[in-house]
Amino acid sequence: MHFAFSSEQLMAAEVTTQLLQAHCTPALLRQLLARDAAREDSRWQALSEMGLMGVLIPTDAGGLGLNETDFVLLAEAGGYAALPEPLVEHAGVAAPLLAQVQPGHPLLTAMASGTSTLAIGHPINPFVADADTATALLLVHGDTLHLVRRDQTHITRQPSIDPFRRLYQVDWRASDCTRLDGAGPSDALLDQALNRGALFAAAQCLGLAQRSVHLAVAYARERQQFGKPIGSYQAIKHLLATAQVKIEFARPVVYAAAAELATHAPHAAMRVSHAKLAACEAAELATRTAIQVHGAMGYSWEADVHFFLKRSLALHAAWGSPAFHRGRIAHHIDGQPLGPDHTFYNGTGHV
Partner 1 sequence: MNLTYTPAQQAFRAEVRDWLACHVPAKRLASFDDSRDGFEAHRTWERTLHAGQWGMVTWPVQYGGRNVDLISWLIFEEEYYRANAPARVNQNGIFLLGPTLMEFGTAEQKARFLPAMAAGDEIWSQAWSEPQAGSDLAAVRSSAMREGDHYVLNGHKIWSTRAVYADWAFGLFRTELGSERHRGLSLILFPLTAPGVRISPIARLDGKPVFAEIFLNDVRVPVDQRLGAEGQGWAVCMATAGFERGLMLRSPARYQVAAERLVDLYRRHGDPNDDVTRIAVHRSWMDAQAYALSIYATASRLSAGGTIGAESSTNKIFWSELDIALHQTALAILGPRAELLPSAPTAHRDGDWLEDFIFALAGPIYAGANEIQRNIIAERMLGLPR
Q: Which residues inside 87-126 make contact with partner 1, applying CB under 8 A?
A: 125-126
What residues contact 345, with CB distance under 8 A and at least 6 apart?
Answer: 260, 263, 265, 266, 267
Residue 7 binds to a copy of itself (criterion: CB under 8 A): no
Q: Are 155 and 168 in contact (CB under 8 A)?
A: yes
> In this chain, which stretch among 106-114, 153-161, 212-220, 227-235 interacts with a copy of itself, using CB under 8 A?
227-235
Handedness of CA 208, 82, 12, 86 (dihedral sign): positive
The β-bridge partners of 120 are 138
Cβ atoms of 293 and 223 within 8 Å: the answer is no
In the complex with partner 1, the residue whose CB is nearer, 189 or 318, is 318
Closer of 233 and 324 to a copy of itself (Cβ): 233
| Using rule CB under 8 A, residue 292 touches a copy of itself | no
- Nearer to a copy of itself by Cβ, of 47 and 285: the residue is 285
Q: Is 38 in the site for partner 1 (CB under 8 A)?
A: no
Question: Does residue number 84 form part of the binding site for partner 1 (CB under 8 A)?
Answer: no
Least Å distance between CB 220 and a copy of itself?
Answer: 14
| Rounded Cα–Cα distance for residues 158 and 166 (Å) | 7
Residue 288 binds a copy of itself, judged by CB under 8 A: no
Q: Is 92 helix (H, G, I), strand (E, B) or coil?
A: helix
Q: Across the strands, what pairs with 169?
A: 156
Please say which residue, 235 or 333, places its beta carbon nearer to a copy of itself: 235
Query: Binding to a copy of itself by residue 238, rule CB under 8 A?
Result: yes
Q: Report what 31 binds from a copy of itself, partner 1, none; CB cut-off 5-8 Å by kind.
A: none
The interface with partner 1 within residues 164-193 (CB under 8 A) comprises 165, 167, 169
Residue 169, CB half-sphere, CA atoms under 13 Å: how many?
A: 4
- Single residue of 23, 105, 179, 316 touching partner 1 by CB under 8 A: 316
Partner interacting with residue 177 (select from partner 1, a copy of itself, none; CB below 5-8 Å by kind): none
Site string for partner 1, 241-280 (x = CB under 8 A): xx-xx--xxxxxx-xx--xx--x-x--------x--xx--
Q: How far is the CB of 335 from partner 1 (least distance, A)?
A: 11
How many residues in the shown chain lie near partner 1 by CB under 8 A?
98
Strands 136-141, 118-120: pairing kind: parallel
Measured distance CA(239)–CA(290) in Å, rounded: 9
CB of 114 to partner 1, least distance (A): 26
Angle, to 10 degrees, between the axis of helix 7-23 and the axis of helix 68-81?
A: 20
Beta-bridge partner residues of 157: 168
Is residue 233 close enough to count as binding a copy of itself by CB under 8 A?
yes
The DSSP element (H or E) to which 250 belongs, if any, is: helix 234-262
Type of residue at 151: D
Query: Does 234 sit near a copy of itself (CB under 8 A)?
Result: yes
CB atoms within 10 A of CB 191: 13
Site stretch for a copy of itself (CB under 8 A), options 97-105, 231-239, 276-284, 305-313: 231-239
Distance between CA atoms of residues 117 and 26, nearest Å:
24
- For a copy of itself, the binding residues (CB under 8 A) are 233-235, 238
